[in-house]
Structure 1
């Protein structure tokens, strides 16, 4: 199926690993131009070594919480490719901590990353997206935004704020012809979970360890998702074929969502 992404320019934040890297790879395979950013340029370049046509790729360091850094990055993308058609706001992390175990600085950092990690990119690309025939923004969020967990209390709250903001963005940017949607993740097999496994001290192998967590969390499919399984719905929302979809969210959680 042709998603009509060939030749379109898409920015992907947090592109050096996990969902961001999988999304960028899939976009390149579709013939899109990809502008990827991350905090560590060396790691970013290493992740893309040998992937895709270098002429279709722009890599740069960017701190998504810093407005000036974002504006410089976006200006470089527009100079390189002539515009922006899509934006994937993927930079993020989870803070495994209860409310009593979270410092004030950690709370501020979580909200700053979740909110400004999207809003800085959206306002920097707004004019370019408006010039596209089908501008699209996808905020990579989490099912935690609707179904909070006490062990991820502040992350859950920050993700709820981002989900709310995404709906406001969808209404605000509709006048430009730009769509804004969310993909809500459950448990996805990324570097964060691999690091937690390595520090867990378990005698289980990774597959059995992750299956136990999936069962404990009530994931209907009984396993973690893959980055590629998240990337595909992201590409679907970026596609002009989804031109009548805005302000929506897609769960990619293996059936972990319990809300109606």
Structure 2
């Protein structure tokens, strides 16, 4: 039996991943900032351990991991799902707002991962699943700082995959497109305090209008997305990136084409920046 440890499991993709794991007969540690936010159907399962965890509380992660191991004996899969969004032009976002976002999306992820890894290294096995975003491989207007935090998640996951391979531990970043969750609700998405009127009518603020119109009408089905994540983990051969959703795949493919075009345009000049003696010996 596999033991899953899921942060941010009170709703959205985190809750659906917990449900998918339970349907598969696995044990689940479901965490949230307050356990009364966890859905009743989850807490009713004898295979679920509900735990209070705010991942921005550096002292909280080790205690939660200890409780999980005491109950289930091991942790096989860590799902770093806790996070939130931030809309607004980059110029509008204050340092304090940006740091608060990174405290949750990046440093919270790091703290929980550090707490779990000693368990997985002792086991010589484990799977890390980091919930990134389509915005984590493409900087888009109106979500620049959120994109930056998810770019960081992708880089961390790639490095962890290489660093942890000798211990039998895998790492993948899941990069969903737009899914029909509560992510666009005010409880998950914030706006900068200092709005700049000059951006009205530009792409940065068009994103604000889109978010209010698209809420709960997004293309992606979180139940199906969670089932795919569960099945990918069970397959035992994780991709470095799991592009989740039609829009995520289409945007990634478009970026690959753009990268090839950029390389082709400047290839000879770029290669020629090497020292002449290095080129001669190559």
What SS is found at the alignment partner of 2:29?
Answer: strand
2:49 corresponds to 1:58 = yes
C-alpha displacement of 1:133 = 6.4
The residue matched to 2:246 in structure 1 has which SS?
coil
Of 248-257 and 18-27, the range deviating more from structure 2 = 248-257
Task: Find the partner of 2:11 among 5, 12, 17.
Answer: 17
Aligned partner of 1:249 in structure 2 is 241
> What corresponds to 2:31 in structure 1?
37
Structure 2: where are the runs of 5+ without partners?
188-212, 257-282
- Contact between 2:42 and 2:48, CA under 8 Å: does it hold in 1? no
The 8 Å contact of residues 38 and 60 in structure 1, kept in 2 or not, is answered as yes
Quote the offset at 1:19 in angstroms.
0.0
- Mapping for residues 179-258 of structure 1, pairs under 5 Å: 179-193=170-184, 209-210=213-214, 223-239=218-234, 241-243=235-237, 245=238, 248-256=240-248, 257=251, 258=254
Corresponding residue for residue 20 of structure 2? 26
For 1:167 and 1:66, locate their aligned partners in 2 and report how far apart those are by CA, in whole Å: 25
Q: What CA deviation, in whole Å up to 9, does each residue of 1:55-111 have, x standing for no partner?
A: 211001101122210111111000011111111000011101111211111111122
CA distance in 1 between counterparts of 2:124 and 2:166 reads 13
Alpha-carbon separation, structure 1, partners of 2:81 and 2:160: 16
1:203-241 Cα distance to aligned partner (Å, 9 max, x none)? xxxxxx439x98xxxxxxxx52021132123213321x2
1:92 equivalenced with 2:104 (yes/no): no
Aligned partners of 2:132 and 2:176 also within 8 Å = yes
- With normalisation by structure 2, the TM-score equals 0.75
Contact 2:9–2:32 (CA under 8 A) maintained in structure 1: yes
Q: Which residue of 2 aligns with 1:120?
A: 111
More helix by share: 2
Contact 2:124 2:167 in 1 (8 A): no
Counterpart check, 1:74 vs 2:65: yes
Alignment correspondent of 1:220 = none
Does the 8 Å CA contact 2:153/2:173 hold for their aligned counterparts? Answer: no
Task: Please identify runs of 4+ aligned residues in structure 1 that moved more than 6 A.
Answer: none
After superposition, the Cα gap between the structure-2 partners of 1:9 and 1:116, relative to the gap in structure 1 and judged at 3 Å, is same
Q: How many residues align?
A: 228
Task: Give the number of the structure whose alpha-carbon radius of gyration is greater.
Answer: 2
Let me know the Cα RMSD of the aligned residues. 2.3
Counterpart of 2:193?
none
Q: What is the DSSP-based 3-state SS (H/G/I as helix, E as strand, rest coil) of the residue aligned with 1:184?
A: strand
Unaligned runs of 5+ in 1: 1-6, 197-208, 215-222
Higher relative contact order (CA 8 A, sep 6+): 1
1:148-192 per-position Cα deviation (integer Å, ceiling 9, x unaligned): 112001001111111111111111111110000011011111113
The answer (yes or no) to whether the contact 1:34–1:58 under 8 Å persists in 2 is yes
CA–CA distance in structure 1, aligned partners of residues 162 and 58 of structure 2: 22
